[in-house]
Amino acid sequence: MEELKARIIKEGKVIGSNVLKVDHFLNHQIDPHLMQEIGKTFAKAFKKKGITKIVTVESSGIAPAVMTGLFLNVPVIFARKKRSLTLSRGGLETEIYSYTKREKIHVFLADGMLKRDDRVLVIDDFLANGEAALGLTRLIEQAGAQLSGIGIVIEKSFQEGRKKLEALGCPIFSLARIASLQNGKVSFLEDVQKQTQINL
Ligand code: 5GP
């Protein structure tokens, strides 16, 4: 998605060699117009998959997931990272390793949110090692629902996540795929591939 790539180049900050900070439009401040385009693009990509629900994890997945839900006209569920008053016991639960917090956390979904006949689209903000997305797919499996696709806003293709998700055998669609963050520079996968073809 060209508009997203342009925003990453303009506003993204590379931290170390593998973290991208995009706090001005995705992870802290949210740009509703960009989010709307993101939702539209995901909805277009998955419109033939018969999606009945979207699942994401709080908090940064919520904005792109809600916009996608709006355009697919389906409800959006976010897994909670803490039990709440209304989800004090029971429900579905799985453990994931949080990339940003560098610790294991538990994520929860209330019973009955997902039904066995639901066809579910997973949406998340980033794909790094795939832990968050895989955790969500485990919750979907526990509910007996069907995983029908995974949509990622920013994929760091140099990490292991994509490979792990591909093993699930469902369609995966990332709006921006980053080949490298070396030397503080963002290189997108398609640009690197094009460059390699030119040089062949
Ligand atoms: P994974 O579970 O795939 O290893 O990591 C995905 C989660 O970690 C995302 O939900 C996101 O919140 C966070 N994350 C991973 N890499 C980055 C990054 O480079 N930048 C930001 N802002 N978040 C990241």
pLDDT in tens, 130-187: 999 999 999 999 999 999 999 999 999 999 999 999 999 999 999 999 999 999 999 9
**What number of residues does the chain have?**
200
Task: Among 19, 59, 99, 150, say which to mutate for ligand 1: greatest number of ligand atoms within 8 Å of CB.
Answer: 99
Closest residue by Cα to atom 10, ligand 1, is 126
Rounded to two decimals, the pTM is 0.95
For residue 200, the model assigns a pLDDT of 57
The rounded percent of the chain whose pLDDT value lies above 90 is 88
Please state, rounded to an integer, the average pLDDT across all residues of the chain. 95
Cβ(19)–Cβ(101) below 8 Å: no
Is the shortest distance between the CB of 150 and ligand 1 below 6 Å? no
Is the shortest distance between the CB of 12 and ligand 1 below 6 Å? no
- Return the C-alpha torsion angle 24, 30, 32, 36, nearest 10: 90
Cα 153 to its chain centre, rounded Å, is 6
For residue 85, the model assigns a pLDDT of 81
Is the shortest distance between the CB of 130 and ligand 1 below 6 Å? yes
The rounded percent of the chain whose pLDDT value lies above 70 is 96
For residue 75, the model assigns a pLDDT of 98
The yes or no reply on domain 2-199 and CATH 3.40.920.10 is: no
Domain ranges for the chain: 2-199
For residue 134, the model assigns a pLDDT of 98
At 199, is the pLDDT very low, low, confident or very high (cuts 50, 70, 90)? low
CA of 126 to the centre of ligand 1 (A): 5
Cβ(87)–Cβ(110) below 8 Å: yes
Q: What average pLDDT score do residues 14-42 get? A: 97
- Residue 49's nearest CA partner among 188, 187, 192, 172 is 172
Nearest-atom number in ligand 1 for the CA of 161 is: 3
